[in-house]
Amino acid sequence: METRVAIIGIIVSNPEQISQLNEILHEYGEYIIGRMGIPYKEKKIHIISVAIDAPQNIINALSGKIGRLKGISAKTAYSDKIFPNK
């Protein structure tokens, strides 16, 4: 199956949901290239960036699961290029 590279930008305003977020990210770990988290103490939020290489439906499923968590928002930016099987 063809894959795409994408970045999922995540804003966590409810720290009680972080463990659920980490469980979801672990579930999709085989597709994750890397992630970076930045605590923004002044605003009491966390900013997380996740780079992923996966089929389109997997990226959509991951982003959707994250976005359904209360107090967490997620947006995805996709590469233009589609890659053949890994």
- Give tens-digit pLDDT for 32-58: 999 999 999 999 999 999 999 999 999
Whether residue 26 has pLDDT greater than 70: yes
Looking at residue 30, its pLDDT comes to 97
pLDDT of residue 84: 86
Taking Cα atoms as reference points, which of 3, 4, 7, 5 lies closest to residue 75? 7
Higher pLDDT, 82 or 2: 2
Number of domains in the chain: 1
Which CA distances in Å does 75 have to 7, 8, 65? 8, 6, 12
pLDDT tops 80 at residue 85: no
Could you tell me which residues are beta bridge partners of residue 52? Answer: 6, 32
CATH of the domain at 39: 3.30.70.1150
* pLDDT for 17: 95
Instruction: Tell me the pTM.
Output: 0.90
**pLDDT, position 86:** 60
- Which residues form the domain of 51? 3-83
Mean pLDDT of the chain: 95
Alpha-carbon distance values, 30 to 25, 53, 54, 59, 69 (Å): 10, 9, 9, 12, 21
